[in-house]
Amino acid sequence: MTDHRRHQRLLHRARIKVTIPSLSKQFETDMRDFSESGLFLLYPKDLGLEKGAIVEVQTLEFEDAPIQSCKVVRIEPGIGIAVEFV
């Protein structure tokens, strides 16, 4: 399998709040890793998302963290989703 990643991934666990505006859903989950261009979010349940969907993420590691819009670029069923910052 070819690795198409543009940036090195850094393993880091952090609690993340995810909002899916199009589905009016919000939940908390754990981040597995991150890079300059995005995050991988652990979430084994089906979120009803498709590749290209827009979500908003916010770290819960510190108060008043900025909210960042992201695009879903990969879905790994039973594991989670990869999102890219937009």
DSSP class per residue in the chain: -----SS--EEEEEEEEEEEGGGTEEEEEEEEEE-SSEEEEE--S--S--TT-EEEEEESSSTTPPPEEEEEEEEETTTEEEEEE-
Q: What is the mean pLDDT of the chain?
A: 90
Residue 41 lies in a domain: yes
Between 6 and 52, the higher pLDDT residue: 52
Number of domains in the chain: 1
- Per-residue pLDDT band for 75 (boundaries 50, 70, 90) equals very high
Q: How far is CA 20 from the centre of its chain?
A: 11
Q: Which domain holds residue 29?
A: 12-85
- Average pLDDT value for residue range 13-25: 94
Residue 40 lies in a domain: yes
Residue 1 lies in a domain: no
pTM of the model: 0.85
Residue 42 lies in a domain: yes
Between 7 and 61, the higher pLDDT residue: 61
CATH classification at residue 62: 2.40.10.220
How far is residue 66's CA from residue 60's CA, in Å, rounded to a whole number?
A: 10
Q: What pLDDT digit, counting tens, does each position of 40-57 carry?
A: 999 988 888 999 999 999
Q: Over pLDDT 90: what percentage of the chain?
A: 78
Residue 78 lies in a domain: yes
Of 66, 71, 40, the closest CA to residue 54 belongs to 71
Residue 73 lies in a domain: yes
Residue 6 lies in a domain: no
Residue 77 lies in a domain: yes
